[in-house]
Chains A and B, each alone.
Chain A
């Protein structure tokens, strides 16, 4: 059982480049979320999904897109990377109405 798998683990981008952070879970969880973590700011929700085909914005959605075509996958796209998007990104999944999220190991992204 792999849990929540995020790729890549590390990435350096130049300003203006685009990329997709991958997230896959094998627990058949309906809920999936993307967070970013910056020093002293805890986890801030970017986008979330409560099922395939359903996504919604979180606290800090600007500059990011998501889609949820399958239960297993929830990719996060950076449209045009900016230095302010330098952060650690976590994907998480949960059964519905649970609160007990399983987190991936994170992607450390640096935008130069």
Chain B
């Protein structure tokens, strides 16, 4: 059974801090790892990582995959209150297609002014 575990489950920081969120996975025939951000309502897609050691960046957010360690990290630098959200990682099940995703529990990030 595929498994995705995120840590920490919650994190409280102040504006300007840098945070690192972790995601580890166990999946048959790994294909890729996905990061989503969920604010008030629907999750929105951030990154897809397929290759180990290649960093994906979008503004102050960056993510990297470590296939050897079966994990990924999401970094947010110079945090802002607008970064407060639930961050979710997911993997496609069984490496067969992206029709079936397994999500982690999510990390709740709270950024105080």
Q: Which residues of A contact B (CB under 8 A)?
A: 31, 33, 35, 40-45, 48-50, 56, 58-59, 90, 92, 94, 96-106
Contact = CB atoms under 8 A, between A and B. Distances in A.
A44 B1 CA distance: 13
B19 interface: no
B42 A105 contact: yes
B43 A90 contact: yes
Interface residues of B, number: 24
Nearest to A32: B99
A96 B97 contact: yes
Contacts of A50: 97, 99
Contacts of A106: 41-42
A105 B106 CA distance: 18
B41 A105 contact: yes
A103 B88 contact: no
A11 B43 CA distance: 21
